Chains A and B, each alone.
Chain A
Amino acid sequence: GAVVSQHPSWVICKSGTSVKIECRSLDFQATTMFWYRQFPKQSLMLMATSNEGSKATYEQGVEKDKFLINHASLTLSTLTVTSAHPEDSSFYICSASSGTYTDTQYFGPGTRLTVL
Chain B
Amino acid sequence: DAKTTQPPSMDCAEGRAANLPCNHSTISGNEYVYWYRQIHSQGPQYIIHGLKNNETNEMASLIITEDRKSSTLILPHATLRDTAVYYCIVEDFKTIFGAGTRLFVKA
A interface, CB within 8 angstroms of B: 2, 4, 6, 34, 36, 43-46, 49, 59, 91, 93, 95, 101-102, 104-110, 112
Contact = CB atoms under 8 A, between A and B. Distances in A.
A104 B48 CA distance: 9
Nearest to A103: B91
A101 B95 CA distance: 7
B41 A43 contact: no
Interface of B: 31-32, 34, 36, 38, 41-46, 49, 87, 91, 93-100
A101 B34 contact: no
Contact of A107 (B32, B41, B43): B43
B94 A49 contact: yes
B42 A101 contact: no
Contact of A43 (B46, B91, B93, B97): B97
